[in-house]
Structure 1
């Protein structure tokens, strides 16, 4: 394993976090993150943001709100 450097770690960070890089790159980036506080912080922000967005996507709107939105969309479509 070799430290891949900040440029590669940051360029491939999203793929790394989704486990979409080859095993060699995965190991190199992991080693870099262990030794680089700046890139490690960036990885933490990206991971946290991804988790928050994923949780938000699982939430559903209340049925009443959903009905209101659909009703307004139908009304807007009818006038065009």
Structure 2
């Protein structure tokens, strides 16, 4: 195992969260997170924000509001 370091782990955190890294880079960052409290904290914040955004994007406006907006657009 080679520690990729905090700079790389933090720079590629977004890609890591979305599994957009090569398998080797993903493993390197995973290994780093297992041993770095600071980066693990950043990862937790990233996971929390990602989950909140995913939930927020699933919400729909109330039907009355949607109808009123569509009526204004026509």
TM-score above 0.5: yes
Give the length in aligned residue pairs. Answer: 74
1:28 aligns with 2:28: yes
1:73 shift after superposition: 4.2
Gaps of 5+ in 1: 75-80
SS in structure 2 opposite 1:19? Answer: coil
Which protein shows a greater Rg? 1
What is the RMSD of the two structures over their aligned residues, measured on CA atoms?
A: 1.2
Q: Distance in 2 between matches of 1:4 and 1:23?
A: 14
Query: What TM-score, normalized by structure 1, do the two folds share?
Result: 0.83
* Cα separation, 1, equivalents of 2:4 and 2:41: 17
Tell me what 1:58 maps to: 58
Which runs of no fewer than 5 residues in structure 2 stay unpaired?
none
Q: What are the superposed Cα offsets for residues 13-66 of structure 1, whole Å, 9 maximum, x if unpaired?
A: 111111111111111101111111111111111111111111111111110011
Alignment of structure 1 residues 1-80 onto 2, 5 Å: 1-74=1-74
Q: Between the two structures, name the one with larger relative contact order (CA 8 Å, sep ≥ 6).
A: 2
